[in-house]
Amino acid sequence: MKKFSDEQLVRLFVDTQKNIYFEHIYDRYSDKVYRKCLSFVKDEAKAEDFAHDIFLKLVLNIGSYKETSKFSTWLFSITYNYCIDQLRIAKKKAEVELDENFDFVDDFEDAQVAEMEAKKLNKALEHISVEDRSILMMKYQDDLSIKEISASLDISESAVKMRLLRAKEKLKKIYLENLLFWAIITTKFLSIFFRHDHH
Amino acid sequence: MEEEKKNAFKEIEPNVTAPENLKKEISSEIDSIRNTSAIIELFVGNFFNAISAALKKDPY
């Protein structure tokens, strides 16, 4: 069974309706989907419910899967869209459509991601909307291309670029604010400590 | 060999596995969905067959 690709397993499941094929797909992706849900809800019981619903959604919609995209991309799009729908945090903002020649310079990945500390990044991600968080995770955690994200979220590629840009700006702002906050606290603490030391 | 680039997004992914009971739960739910749809199909099919048979029946 290991030699079968995801797409072959899907075809076998659709044709035969045998659970064994679904179970193999499940074994390949359950941890990934569960982790994704957990990083959204931070609660194991809720994440389990989310993963449960996502896999049922997958089964109910498996007939509509066209092999135009990778199966994993399709499954992640169900996962992200489900989490976004459930959390219902951000209000839809009007998208400013950019012209097709909009140049997306991705300097974020190389320089800034490398500089970010995982713990502080995690904290900063909690303070941005679920839509912003998911688009950043799609790009930088799941390594999806702009085209794949656009297909997953059903928005144009230029809208994806714009949303990514805005999400990164928000994340950077919160991340830097956090850094500044801790720098001030540390300075304050040190100044009090040294003042005491002098007396 | 080029050193792999550090990416904090990869680091924050929780290192947990899906609960073991989940697979069984989903599988049994898939079975019940399949069974329910089979029953509905059967019922609807028989219902229309009965109606069409009743309509075809010669009243005299």
Residue-wise pLDDT for B40-57, tens only, equals 888 887 878 888 888 876
Total domains present in chain B: 1
* B44 located within any domain: yes
Considering the domain boundaries, does residue B16 fall inside one? no
The confidence score (pLDDT) of residue A199 equals 57
**pLDDT given for residue B21 in this prediction:** 92
pLDDT for the residue A97: 45
- Within a domain: B5: no
pLDDT of residue A197: 62
Q: Is residue B27 part of a domain?
A: yes
pLDDT at A96: 43
CB contact under 8 A, A137 and B11: no
- Give the structural domain span for A12: 6-87
ipTM of the complex, rounded to two decimals:
0.72
> What is the distance, to the nearest Å, from the Cα of residue A41 to the centroid of all Cα atoms in its chain?
12
Which chain A residues are within 8 Å of B33, Cβ to Cβ?
Answer: 56, 59-60
Report how many domains make up chain A: 2
The verdict on residue A21 lying in a domain is: yes
Q: Is there a single domain that holds both residue A116 and residue A62?
A: no
Residue B30 lies in a domain: yes
**Min CA distance, B29 vs chain A (Å)?**
8
A118 with A185, same domain?
yes
Average pLDDT, chain A: 82
- B30 CB neighbours in chain A (<8 A) are 19, 22, 56, 59
Is A131 in the same domain as A63? no
Q: How many CB atoms lie within 10 A of CB A25?
A: 21
Residue A128 lies in a domain: yes
Domain that holds residue B38: 22-57
- Picking from B22, B33, B34, the nearest residue to A51 by CB comes out as B22
Statement to judge: residues A80 and A111 lie in one domain: no
Same domain, A14 and A74: yes
SS3 A101: coil
A·B CB contacts under 8 A = 84
Q: In terms of pLDDT, which residue wins out, B30 or A184?
A: B30
Residues of chain A short of pLDDT 50, as ranges, are 89-103, 105, 110
What CA–CA distance (Å, rounded) separates B16 from B14? Answer: 6
Contact residues on chain A for B26, CB-CB shorter than 8 A: 26, 52, 55-56, 59
What CATH number has the domain bearing residue A26?
A: 1.10.1740.10
Which two three-digit tokens encode residue A84? 């976004």
Long-range CB pairs of A151-157 (<8 Å, 24+ gap) are A151/A69, A151/A73, A151/A77, A152/A73, A152/A74, A152/A76, A152/A77, A152/A80, A152/A81, A153/A77, A153/A80, A153/A81, A155/A95, A156/A97
By Cβ distance, the residue of A22, A30, A34 closest to B30 is A22
pLDDT at residue number A26: 95
